[in-house]
Chains A and B, each alone.
Chain A
Amino acid sequence: MTPLLSVRDLRVGFGRNPQTNEVVRGISFDLADGETLAIVGESGSGKSVTALSINRLIDFGGGRITGGAMKLKRADGSLFDLMTATEPQLTGIRGAEIGMIFQEPMTSLNPVLSIGTQIEESFRLHRGLTGRQATAAAKDALDRVRIPDAARRLKYTPNQLSGGMLQRVMIAIALACNPRLLIADEPTTALDVTVQAQIMALLAELKRETGMSMIFITHDIGLVAGIADKVMVMQNGQAVEQGELNQILDNAQHPYTQHLLQDVPHFTKGSTTRSDGRRDGGAGTEPALKVDGLVVRFPLKSSFFSRATGAVHAVDGVDFDLMPGETLAIVGESGSGKSTTARAVLGLVRSTRGSFSVGARKASAEQSALPVQMVFQNPYASLNPRLSIESILAEPVIATGGRVDAGTRARMASLLERVGLPKNSLERYPHEFSGGQRQRLCIARALMLNPSVVVLDEAVSALDVSVQAKVLELLVDLQREFGLAYLFISHDMAVVERIAHRIAVIYAGQIVEIGDATSVLSKPKHSYTKKLIAAVPTIDRRHEHFELDTRQVPSLVRPQGYEPAPARWERFGGDHMARAEG
């Protein structure tokens, strides 16, 4: 039987001489009807370029297909040559036979048109539907992707919907014409883990209903297990390994696949947490950082002159303490208040109430205390591109009134060496470094002032998985060497499991569960923690069905003067406790 899609020795190049600047170098695969192929690789491996070449969108992205063959079996059984097709022919194929969804649902939709109009467009173009028929079809399409209250939502513009909802709208548009092939390019990377689980569940269900084939592109090999039939691992534009799902996951042959499976953080429900530096009752030692009753509210005003009518309760009564040499991970989804907590500790956000004490020093809520330093999420945005590394590292010293002398230079050199950067880095500029190296620079800069506490706000989230693992190792080493206390903010449970001693789960501005990492991850008590842990993809879950949960996060906007009820805590041995529910 002929496969739905057959790709042979595909080569794609960029720039003036595409032949000499190839990004995809000889990819071959077959995709049968109803089959799912997962393409796994890190950024720059050529996985997205491969996907964009299949529907020839690469022509618009500056790329040129330099060689190979691609054939698509059409609905009537005839073979369609994707390589030689003209642009008008391809327009008929895209959307109708090959649907596509992208990584960023926020930017894939036109912000000024209602989602209804955007879904109808697909029906208009490919099925010739107009007016009421198109609207009815659009409503059906939204129903199909399980968006509640579809008829009303058609009139919404994209800014009125959450990221997960928008990705469902994108799926509705991609599936409008019942394509027989769906290309999903990192469809869940920009989404929270529980939303990711919903989207994965939806894709699996839709695939069962329609019998379509799918090409699923991801950097996360853990996500592959739940959905793929076949896996292709890409590195540097080549497929280093491809085969059946079980064969790749259980019996990987290529060292790179083995590296992805073993060295990269995978979630194991608390069985690989750190065993060093447990708390020993805490008697006698002073905490490095103690946060008491932290509240951050942003007043809401309807206009410039009117009084505040309510407030966004971003952080609503958070307490924790952090011992020297310990990592406390704060986990939660976007909008839960975890970053706001971190920024309040550093004084970047003005806290409404609450107190901090850093070491022996008491710091008021307003002023930043210098023994706390921070490493930011985006290594590309947190270094001034116009300053040399020397100036960047000197800044904390200058800011605290110090002089840049031989001693400072010696410290810069030793820190750079300690974080694993070349000696000649000082005269260079940030753009000469890779993302992982930049993050190392940020770590070195944070350590310039000898802090006792380092706040790591999603510090490894923007990095490729294998770089992530190395930076985490570095962080653990530095912690042991300097006795640093880490406040580690993350949404990624697999990463948290590697580095945390204790975990605080934060939901809607409040800590719902806190305790020893192993205990929280293996025996979660609060329903939200359970849901969060259940949503994490792992390589052990083969074709497991995620539950489709369409509950929305509660609104954090409260009327003026609202105070949350005091928390009741239930204790579960050691220091593991969870907020009582109901």
Chain B
Amino acid sequence: MRILRAIFGHGSGRIGGVIVGVYLLVAILGMLGLTPHNPITQFRVDRLHAPNSAYWMGTDLFGRDVASRLMAGIGQSFTVAFFSVAFATLAGTVLGLAAAWLGSRWDGIVMRIMDVLLAFPAILLALLIVTVAGPGTWTSIVAIGIVYTPIFTRVVRGPALSLKAREFVDAARTFGSSSSYIVTRHLLLNLVAPLTVQVTLALAWSLLTEAGLSFLGLGTQPPAASLGLMLSDSRNLMETAPWLMIFPGLAIMISILGFNLLGDALRDILDPRMRRAPA
């Protein structure tokens, strides 16, 4: 509750929060099927209609309602983004903490593997994994998750190493605190702020990666809707039916803007030095 109030008290946080909130609502409606039309029903007589009162964002080549498909697509893209970021956060945090806490050899092994993963461009690595495992929603989630794991590992390991050398960890050792207590209470708790910021930003990237995969035909499979797939379908009709491209494109752009603004706001808010003493 307090954090929501803080976000809305922050200039860019307010804009980002509203954008992300609206998207979440649309995504839920899209997933529940509460769209103006069925997103996969083809209204053959109404092919390639420009936006009008019946079809707010027009119709596509097969006469499907773009607005409905957009809602379903946002639902689909957000699902993939959330699960893949959850995967990356969990895996990255565990690996990063292990590397920092165990040190020396383990640190070397874990971080070199992460370096190798990071050496591939994100979309290329995702493509590779999806090509090997076959396209589909769950493979996209795992692929995108693996792609972003190294970033979380690094984000966790660096601060964890510096926290490990802090005096309060030494102090904990002098009481005889167990390793698990030190790792969870002294390291992890202090990592919540950077992790939250990173999660928000990673959501934006994974949305983009999901769109890229679908655009290339390796993510969500037709006839289901996804933002990348819609963009891909619009390619050849750019001049005759520009709305096919404009709406999904805008949807991607604004969602990423929203997550970035929110991430910036969270970074400011979660800095403990910014926290005020309760009155």
Contact = CB atoms under 8 A, between A and B. Distances in A.
Interface stretch (B8-16, B30-38, B63-71, B165-173): B165-173
B185 A384 contact: yes
A445 interface: yes
Categorize the interface residue count of chain A: 20 to 34
B171 A368 contact: no
Contacts of A372: 174
B175 A396 contact: yes
Contacts of A565: none
Interface residues of B, number: 22
A428 B190 contact: no
Interface class of chain B by DSSP = helix
A193 interface: no
A445 B171 contact: yes
A399 B179 CA distance: 10
A480 B172 CA distance: 26
A73 to B, nearest CB: 43
Interface stretch (A43-51, A151-159, A373-381): A373-381
Interface in B179-212: 181, 185-186, 189-190, 192
A368 B170 contact: no
B5 interface: no
B6 to A, nearest CB: 16
A383 interface: yes
B272 A398 contact: no
Nearest to B178: A399
A398 B172 CA distance: 11
B174 A368 contact: yes
Interface in A344-392: 346-348, 368, 370, 372-374, 376-378, 381-387, 391
Nearest to B171: A382
Interface class of chain A by DSSP = loop
A394 B16 CA distance: 39
A133 B176 CA distance: 61
Contacts of A442: 171
B185 A400 contact: no
B166 A432 contact: no
B174 A346 contact: yes
A387 B185 contact: yes
A33 interface: no
A395 interface: yes
Given A387-B189, A432-B277, A381 B168 contact: yes
Nearest to B172: A395
Contact of B174 (A348, A377, A381, A431): A348
A291 B185 CA distance: 33
Contact of B272 (A373, A391, A400, A431): A431
Interface in A330-349: 343, 346-348
A478 interface: no
14 contacts: A348-B173, A370-B175, A373-B175, A376-B167, A376-B170, A376-B171, A381-B167, A384-B190, A395-B172, A398-B177, A399-B175, A399-B177, A399-B181, A400-B176
Given A346-B173, A372-B174, 7 more contacts: A343-B170, A374-B170, A381-B167, A395-B185, A399-B175, A400-B176, A449-B175
Nearest 7 Cβ contacts at the A-B interface: A382-B167, A399-B177, A396-B175, A399-B175, A381-B167, A376-B167, A386-B189
